[in-house]
Homo-oligomer: A and B are copies of this chain.
Amino acid sequence: MGELLLVEAVNDALHVELERDPSVLVLGEDVGKLGGVFRATVGLQKRFGAERCVDTPLAEAGILGTAVGLCMAGWRPVCEMQYDAFSYPALDQLINHVGRYRWRTRGKMSFPLVVRMPYGGGVRAPELHDDSPETYYVHTPGVKVAIPSNPADAKGLLAAAIRDPDPVVVLEPKLIYRTSRGEVPEGEHVVPLGTAHVVREGSDLTLVAYGAMVPLAERAADELSPEASAEVLDLRSLKPLDEDALLASAAKTGRVVVVQEAPRTCGFAAEVAAILAEKAIYDLHGPVLRVTGYDVPYPYWQLEDAYMPSVERVVDAARRLLAS
């Protein structure tokens, strides 16, 4: 199929999965006629009809709550939240129902729904169009969380999420929606949840990242070369997490820097560091360093570059670690 932008790969996945499985249905604000504010759902309503690509009222808890009911009626709903920070009204449904309903039926009923949304900062947008909410999702039992960093994974992880019998939240890094371009397999393409990907082999230290932080980590690895050989590990799926890949890389390099856009406290980098502190402590040649957003409200966009992890900050952390 050739090269696609990341957002086009999302759109492609939706086309393929709606075609493949007549019980898949897309719903959300402006996903129909408009094709979504990022055009991720463009063409779906024309192709599959207004009943399988549904423009909903402006009510996120309503979207996710009705999706629970749609599952009970035999559908596999794919909900779009228009932006990261506008998904919070639906957290109640997510935590109290989406993550618990299969359990509540003692495993008898499935809730194969997907919540996908553009997320993350760096896009020069008004307030609250920049959040990285993965902690809220990943901490919640009963849901899975995937975050692609390139077009092929965006397609494959979304396909996996749609086919998964359990609820999956897919966070799509909007910063690289239209800058990440790459080869995407045509037709059905599935990247199993729970498999990390070594984007670049290295021997001196590991940069652990996901989403838009992966290309950033790659640039940092470039910067560090030839001074040091950095491995870049793209987690791709935060839950389930490919712990083996993480531990293998840590064992190999003995030095780990974790990069995340979200605020630091209880961000996913903390979980990565905690796993390393528990299971890899004897492999480590130095501290586990985190390069993250700060514990502050995401700033005015003229200042956002100071908030977002930068190549410079990653390189600085790597150098400190290498020197330790």
Contact = CB atoms under 8 A, between A and B. Distances in A.
A296 interface: yes
Interface string A123-156: 0000110010001101111100000000000000
Interface string A86-120: 00110110011001100110000000000000000
Given A278-B289, A290-B278, A266 B128 contact: no
Contacts of A268: 266
A287 interface: yes
Contacts of A4: none
A286 to B, nearest CB: 7
A297 interface: yes
B266 A277 contact: no
A273 interface: yes
A139 B141 contact: no
Interface string A247-291: 000000000000000110111111101101111010010111110
Given A92-B89, A268-B266, A290-B274, A100 B297 contact: yes
Contact of A96 (B128, B239, B286, B289): B128
A85 interface: yes
A295 interface: yes
Contact of A136 (B99, B100, B136, B297): B136
Interface of A: 61, 85, 88-89, 91-92, 95-96, 99-100, 103-104, 127-128, 131, 135-136, 138-142, 239, 241, 262-263, 265-271, 273-274, 276-279, 281, 284, 286-290, 294-297
Given A91-B91, A270-B274, A281-B288, 11 more contacts: A138-B266, A141-B294, A141-B296, A142-B296, A266-B268, A277-B281, A277-B284, A278-B287, A278-B290, A279-B287, A281-B287
16 contacts: A61-B89, A89-B92, A91-B91, A100-B127, A100-B297, A104-B297, A135-B135, A138-B266, A139-B265, A141-B263, A273-B274, A277-B277, A278-B287, A278-B290, A281-B287, A281-B288
